[in-house]
Structure 1
Amino acid sequence: MSAAHNLEVPGPSFVRDAHGESVIERWLRRGIEVLAAAAVVGEVALLFVGIVARAVFHQPLIWSDELASILFLWLAMLGSALAVQRSCHMRLTFFVSHMTPRAQAWAETLAVAAAAAFFALVMHPAYDYVQDQAFVETPALGWSGSVRALAIPFGCAAALVSCGLRLARHDRRHIVGAVALMVLIAGACYLARAPLTHMGQGALLVFFVGVLGTAVMAGVPIAFAFSLATSAYLLTTTSTPLSVVVGRMDEGMSTLILLAVPMFVLLGQLVHVTGVARVMVAFLASLLGHVRGGMSYVLLGAMLLISGISGSKTADMAAVAPVLFPEMRKRGMKDGELVSLLAASGAMSETIPPSLVLIAIASVTGISIAALFTAGILPAIVLAFVLGVVAWWRAGREEETDESRAGAVRAPWSHVRRTFVIALPALLLPFLIRSAVVEGIATATEVSTIGIAYSLVIGLLIYRGGLKWKAVMPMLLQTAALSGAILFIVGAASAMGWALTQSGFSHDLASMMTRVPGGAAGFMLVSIVAFIVLGSVLEGIPAIVLFGPLLFPVAHQLGIHEVHYAMVVVLAMGLGVFAPPFGLCYYAACIIGEVSPEAGLRRIWIYLGMLLLGLIAIAFVPWISIGFL
């Protein structure tokens, strides 16, 4: 994931402000921000009111799911437009970062132009889709389906205008070059329609390997690389209208299970801002900080605890690293060791509920999200134990200084008790979230709102001073932008997965995978390798959403429990996401820890290697995943 660099050229001062932003751009941004923030607040309030009405007053609101679905699509589209404005859409920058500054500037222009091309391409099909939905009426509210579907052309229009305004700040030569390249590719597809159609499934290699792979490596945001490759394939080799793509994207983004994504993203930010994460880490440090490798154990324990609250790896690392890294550096740990352990702990905790990837799996495969949440705890604990062994061994190899030995003094029990009492309200939060689901008070989609309310209460009444009014709007906007980027990827991958299914590729893949030597064991090993590679290239959620529906039926056919298979592929994907040189989250860990990426390149492999061994053990001991179901 990467933000745009300062490669834009400001226009005349009478049109733009000191930051190079035009009046139109500023007002559009503010308008989208207000609407997106209102959508987040409205969704939280609606879900919380629904829980109270059902659990306290025993009067369920029969219209709440319909209204939540309508508001959710608006939130997704407004968030995706906001992500365009903030450069939050996920992209692979490994290859771009090795280009010359001039080439990087052109790649940035290409990324914006590609997004604009897709939004322009689907504007009319999105309008047709709204007209089709006008004949649908919601059962409880009696509203026209166009009220909900209108979010798609509105969001596309806002994003298209935002892309145009951003392009106006780029070098004109780069704009001409990017547009010329896209026109050249479109012209080549048009002229080669007949031979590409006759190629049958061979055309999939052209569009979903050639076009898609080149776009991703060139730094085009992954969601738009998916969308453009799918649109180009359908327009060139089929007669399918693009309104079908719009519909499939709507279907992918609108699954109510995915409503947990913005809710848990917001909860993760509240945990950080209110000081909940800080007091948890302080308690663990007082308890374990004095033993050999103690601060490493604290980091692992903190990631396990906080992963059970925020659901976002980036939020987890941002909550833990700033608190622990200064003390760990003081005790003599090298920067490379710190970032390696942080990245490995992120991969370790991928299955801790409420993992956003588990939510995505539930949305595309139909597996019970409660079963996934129950199964995800023990595999993470097993991997935490494996990393703890590595941390203990590495701590023995690190040279200790007088300063580090002085910092490793056992804390008095009075201090441990005091930090425990302070941290107790925070430590109850993960258990509150899980018990609310188990006891049936709230669904896995709704439970995050209980966590949000609880975090607000303890943040304002107990850990006072962390949450300020001025921090509320940035949290809401960050929630909307990050959620929009995630949901747009899910929608784009859903459309792409549908195109692959219609081509017959899914059936052929299933047939090929069932013939892998070794039966279920061979299939499991191939899946581990495949998802490590896919995770490193596509990032977690896109990889899961795209290939999950294709491979889970094969696993079921081979007799592999679907929940067990989910744990294995999520952890394999996590290894890829945090593995250099391609893993996006490895660089996120480096940014959060303020460590050069090169510092961890030699040290991280021992951690990832041991995680791989732990993953193989989980793959061949199903009880670790399904023993408590």
Structure 2
Amino acid sequence: MTDSLNPDLPALDIHAPTAVAGVDEPGVAHRSSLGVLMRPIEAISAVLLIGLIGLVLASVFWRYALGSPITSADEIASFMFLWIVMFGSVIAIDRNEHLRLALLLNAMRPRVRQLLEAIGLVIMAAFLGALLPAAIEHTYFEGDVISPGLEISMAWRIAGIPLGIVLMLIALAAKFLRETGVRDMLISLAAVAAAVAVLWLMTPVFAQIGKANILVLLVGVIAVCLAIGVPIGFCFGSGALAFLLFSTKLPLTVIVGRMDEGMSSLILLSVPVFVLLGCILDATGMGKAIVDFLGSLLGHVRAGMSYVMLGSLYLVSGISGSKVSDMATVAPALFPEMKRRGNKPEEMVALLGTGAIMADTVPPSIVLIVIGSVAGISISALFASGFIVALFLLIMLAIAARWKARSENLAGVRRAPMKVIGKALLFAAPALVLPFLVRGAVTEGVATATEVSTIAVLYAGIAGMLLYGGIALRDIYRMLIETAAMTGAILLILGTASAAAWALTQTGFALYLAEVMKGLPGGWIVFMAVTVVTFLLLGCLLEGLPAIVLLAPLMFPIAKDLGIHSVHYAMVVVVAMNIGLFAPPVGIGYYIACSIGKVEPDAAMKTVWFYLGALVLGLVAIALVPAISIGLL
């Protein structure tokens, strides 16, 4: 299970694609380590986000309305984006929103857990402290590079990295001093220092064992950090740092450069905008309007409320791009009526979680955006395929739900009058337009994912203000801060995972993996089976985004050599990974669904496997029948 740096907070996520962060409830003031010192950082982040959205909107207007694109728009956006990521990472530390795996940590006794929390903070600070001189050096060297459009030094852009590192170190120090006792401070500092000393003394041994050192220095360090609850982004960064320090003579600027590259793809500009779109969805109630309409349409048939849940997840995910936001929108609106009809809470939670798996390939999917960026696949093709794949999985779940509902109590259930349906449709119509706007514009190539996401934010904001009760200025500011924090948490994972992936390639692991995979008997079918098992396990044990960043550059070229279409392979990877994410007893998504549905995880554990089985059958069909995912491309 994944949570925040604070074990006392609930394991929840604010618009994260696949992981969970313990966060404060919306509208509730969180306890800041830095107090008023965070306010200017939050304010700057909010201004940068507004500026980024305004810039993209202006660029769209100039390009399509005036036929004269803003030539330097991409450069300005890249400058702003990197600063948003770094400042957002600082906010995420202060607000306890960096994503981490806490399954083992939460099983520890409170005293041991507190000590491991302190050790985790020291590891994070050690990673940042080691990287700071390299970040300053990287910024200095970039000072000689002049941007072609703005004609200014690229150091202005890269300076966000060392500044962000300094601010993160300050936030960590404040947290360490506030939350850690003197004894734990001394033990944690000594433990990390001893571990570094042991690795340094073993440097000659690492040189002798050659490529096998990657198991200790990269995989081993990452695994240990994950186990003790260090945030995922810092786990990958620490692994890459250990590999470079103790087995190579390469400068640490390599890590900074790889992080910069991993966090700076223009395709990823849409991530914070889609996160903000999800916040607007929650604040305005647009998602609930869709749920109410589907309920009036299908609520009277057997398994009708299950169909409404699946259909709502399918449509709502086309607005938010977040599984957690989807589930949190749908569950409160449907669970009371489903209970009245005799549905068991554990059945409802099982369908809720597996429905979120189904909906994760529905555009806009942040996971698809990331995989397109890393593997070099067309986002429009991924969105078009994801739409069909999700529909196929929806049908599989609907069949399973109908079988489960064969004894459902429909006493007193009546078909909604046409007047009620029409009223619900009229109220939901502005919200129903949004998912089709996003999908249609991107898949038809009318605009890029970033442009469409920005237009969608503008549309949702106006519709929310005029038709759905409006949004208070205070709530808008809060949403901007939440967006910055989650963007920082997500992109830091991508940046450090990119550095770890680079380390893997330097050891020759990529070539070795390619040779092994190509040598498997059975051709592409066996390779696809290995892929399914691999990403099922990674979905359980790791988390989606770093798994994609680590393995996509290695696996996709092999798939292409075996004649597997990249979009087809991407769908198999994403679906397998998400099934693993929701598979108990380890899959963190399963615990999110239980938390939202207010059901004990033990109670729903047996029930969820029936629906997971339906999804696994669907996954096998998707893997073996390419036409399901690419037939309409």
- The partner residue of 1:416 within 395, 408, 421 is 421
The TM-score, its normalising length taken from structure 1, stands at 0.95
What is residue 488 of structure 2 aligned with on the other side? Answer: 484
TM-score, length basis structure 2: 0.94
Give the alignment partner of residue 280 of structure 2, picking from 248, 255, 270: 270
* CA apart distance, 1:434: 2.4
Aligned to 2:398: 388
Residue 450 of structure 2 aligns with which residue?
445
What is the CA-CA distance between 1:7 and the residue it aligns to? 7.1
Deviation by residue 1:107-165 (Cα, 9 ceiling, x = unmatched): 22222222111111111100001001101111111110000000000111111100000
Alignment partner for residue 304 of structure 1, among 279, 299, 314? 314
Shift of 1:576: 1.0
Distance in 2 (CA, whole Å) between partners of 1:181 and 1:606 is: 45
1:129-144 equivalences in 2 (<5 Å):
129-144=138-153
Which one-letter code corresponds to 2:557 in the other structure?
P
Tell me which residue corresponds to 1:155: 164
* CA offset digits 1:313-361 (Å, max 9, x no partner): 1221122122222222232222211211111011112211111111111
Q: Contact 1:51/1:441 (CA < 8 Å) preserved in 2?
A: no
Match of 2:154 in 1: 145
Deviations 1:68-113 (A, max 9, x none): 0000000111111111111111111111111111112122222222
Superposed CA deviations along residues 280-319 of structure 1, whole A, max 9, x for unmatched, are 0000000111111111111100111111121111221122
- 1:439 Cα deviation (Å)? 5.1
Pairwise CA RMSD: 1.6
Equivalent residue number for residue 529 of structure 1: 533
Q: How has the CA–CA distance of structure 1 residues 7 and 613 changed in structure 2, closer, same or farther, with 3 Å as cutoff?
A: closer
Counterpart of 2:361 in structure 1 is 351
Residues 247-396 of structure 1: pairs in structure 2 closer than 5 A: 247-396=257-406
Q: After the TM superposition, which segments of 4 or more aligned residues of structure 1 sit over 6 Å from their partners? A: none
Instruction: Verify: 1:50 aligned to 2:59, yes or no.
Output: yes
Counterpart contact for 1:346–1:578, Cα < 8 Å:
no
Cross-structure match for 1:558 = 562
Which residue identity lines up with residue 30 of structure 1 in the other structure?
R
Q: Percent identity?
A: 46
- Match in the other structure for 2:3: 2
Change (3 A) 1:409 1:571: same
Q: Show the counterpart of 2:119.
A: 110
Q: Name the CA distance, whole Å, in 1 between partners of 2:290 and 2:8.
A: 41
One-letter amino acid of the counterpart of residue 570, structure 1: V
Q: How does 1:55-204 map to 2 (within 5 A)?
A: 55-169=64-178, 170-204=180-214
* Structure 1 position 224 matched with structure 2 position 230: no
Q: Distance in 2 between matches of 1:21 and 1:362?
A: 36
Q: Residue 214 of structure 1 aligns with which residue?
A: 224
* Alignment check: 8 A CA contact 1:590 1:596 kept: yes
**Deviation (angstroms), 1:20:** 7.2
Equivalent of 1:426 in 407, 422, 431: 431
Q: Which amino acid aligns with 2:506?
A: Q
* Alignment check: 8 A CA contact 2:286 2:431 kept: yes
Q: 2: CA distance between counterparts of 1:580 and 1:178?
A: 32
How far apart are the structure 2 equivalents of 1:313 and 1:20? 26
Give the superposition deviation at 1:482.
0.7
- Partner deviation per Cα, 1:10-42 (whole Å, 9 max, x = no partner): xxxxxxxx99766xx112221221111112111
Q: How far apart in 2 are the matches of 1:29 and 1:397?
A: 55
1:595 shift after superposition: 2.4
Number of aligned residues: 612
Q: Is the 8 A contact 2:5 2:98 kept in 1?
A: no
Checking the alignment, whether the CA contact within 8 Å between 1:92 and 1:582 is kept in structure 2 is: no
Secondary structure of the structure 2 residue equivalent to 1:189? helix
Partner of 1:87: helix, strand, or coil?
coil
| SS at structure 1 position matched to 2:97 | coil
* In structure 2, C-alpha distance between the alignment counterparts of 1:20 and 1:56, rounded to whole Å: 46
Q: 1:626 to 1:7 in 2, by over 3 A?
A: closer
Which range moves more in the overlay, 453-462 or 314-323?
A: 314-323
Kept in 1: contact 2:363–2:438 (CA 8 A): no
For 1:251 and 1:397, the matched residues in 2 are separated by 55
Distance 2:273 2:80 in 1: 13
Query: Structure 1 unaligned runs (5+)?
Result: 9-17
Which of 617, 621, 624 does residue 620 from structure 1 map onto? 624
The structure-2 alpha-carbon separation of the partners of 1:20 and 1:85, relative to structure 1 and needing over 3 Å to count, comes to closer
The separation in 2 between residues aligned to 1:253 and 1:478, in whole angstroms, is: 18
Matched to 2:618, the amino acid is G
Report deviation, 1:485: 0.5
- 1:233 equivalent among 243, 251, 264: 243
Instruction: Tell me if the contact between 2:383 and 2:443 (Cα under 8 Å) persists in the aligned partners.
Output: no
Contact persistence 1:55–1:441 (CA under 8 A): no
- In structure 2, relative to structure 1, the CA distance for the partners of 1:357 and 1:20 (3 Å cut) is closer
How far apart in 2 are the matches of 1:312 and 1:162? 28
Alpha-carbon displacement from aligned partner over 1:541-593 (angstroms, at most 9, x marks no partner):
11111111110000001111111000000000011111122222222222222
1:514 matched residue in structure 2: 518
8 A Cα contact 2:287 2:431, kept in partner: yes
Which structure 2 segments of 5+ residues have no match? Answer: 10-28
In structure 2, distance between residues paired with 1:577 and 1:364: 20
The 1:372–1:6 alpha-carbon spacing in structure 2 relative to 1, beyond 3 Å, is closer
The 1:524/1:439 distance shift into structure 2, 3 A limit, reads: closer
Amino acid at match of 1:208: L
1:260 partner letter? S
**In the alignment, which residue of structure 1 is the partner of 2:611?**
607
Compared CA separation, residues 246 and 280, structure 1 to 2 (3 A):
same
CA displacement 1:597-618 (0-9 Å, x = unmatched): 2221111111111101110001
Q: Is the 8 A contact 2:4 2:100 kept in 1?
A: no
Question: Do residues 244 (structure 1) and 254 (structure 2) align?
Answer: yes
Cα distance in 2 between the residues matched to 1:377 and 1:436: 13
For the 8 Å contact 2:92–2:486, the answer to whether it is kept is yes
Deviation at 1:210, TM superposition (A): 2.2
AA of the residue aligned to 1:628: L
Question: Against the structure 1 CA distance between its residues 550 and 397, is the aligned structure 2 distance closer, same or farther, given a 3 Å change threshold?
Answer: farther
Code of the residue aligned with 2:363 in structure 1: it is P
Q: What amino acid maps onto 1:349 in structure 2? A: A
Distance 1:212 1:6, change over 3 A: closer
- Measured in 2, the distance between the counterparts of 1:329 and 1:180 equals 54
Instruction: Tell me which residue corresponds to 1:473.
Output: 477
- CA distance, structure 1, for counterparts of residue 8 and residue 544 of structure 2: 29
Rounded to whole Å, the distance in 1 between the matches of 2:554 and 2:457 is 35
Q: How many angstroms apart in 2 are the aligned matches of 1:283 and 1:35?
A: 40
Separation in 2, partners of 1:284, 1:199: 61
